[in-house]
Amino acid sequence: MIRIIVIGLVALILVSFGIYLLVLNQPKGKNPLVDNQIIPVKIKPSETFIEYNDPSGFSFNYPDNLSIEKSETLDNTTYADLKLYSNQVSGSLSFRISDSPYKKIDEWINLNKSEENTKEVTLGNLKATEIRTKDRLLLGAIDSGVFFNIEVPLIEEEFWTKVYKKVLADFSF
């Protein structure tokens, strides 16, 4: 029994000494016990663009490292319902065109309760209003009884803000 304990202690000492030598001989700043250190790679929107043309008469460009999902469940009041998304980046950009439930854009602004973070922007040739809440970037415009709405959750904000700005800059009828 004592022989087994002695052999176990010797083995433990040899393994500990081996690990000590392994750590001692590694370059500084490197952990020998962690071979696959994960270094996060910051993904950016591509500088190569795809043009999207919708049958309802508008178009815009978006980065080619994104996918577009088009809702096929449109009713008589919805003309377009799109979502840009990435398989590598959390978040999305949703774009919807429908008959307007609002007579004036002020009704939509008041509904979102954020007049202090509101500014005017353009969507193609339309005057639009942009609202930044604590967790979303919203855009609304009304033209001839049609409501244009873009929504971007502020997840991966830098990435999706660039995509949003590209969509706005290239949007046309």
Three-class SS of the chain = CHHHHHHHHHHHHHHHHHHHHHHHCCCCCCCCCCCCCCCCCCCCCCCCEEEEECCCCCEEEEECCCEEEECCCCCCCEEEEEEEECCCCCCEEEEEEEECCCCCHHHHHHHHCCHHHEEEEEECCEEEEEEECCCEEEEEEEECCEEEEEEEECCCHHHHHHHHHHHHHHCEC
60-98, pLDDT tens digit by residue? 999 999 999 999 877 889 999 999 999 999 999 999 999
> And the tokens for 95?
């774009």
Q: Which residue has the higher pLDDT, 21 or 105?
A: 105
Q: What is the pLDDT of residue 3?
A: 72
Nearest to 70 by CA among 43, 101, 97: 97
Q: What is the pLDDT of residue 52?
A: 96
> pTM of the entire structure?
0.73
17-53, pLDDT tens digit by residue? 667 656 566 666 555 555 556 656 688 999 999 999 9
The answer to whether 68 and 59 are in contact (CB under 8 A) is no
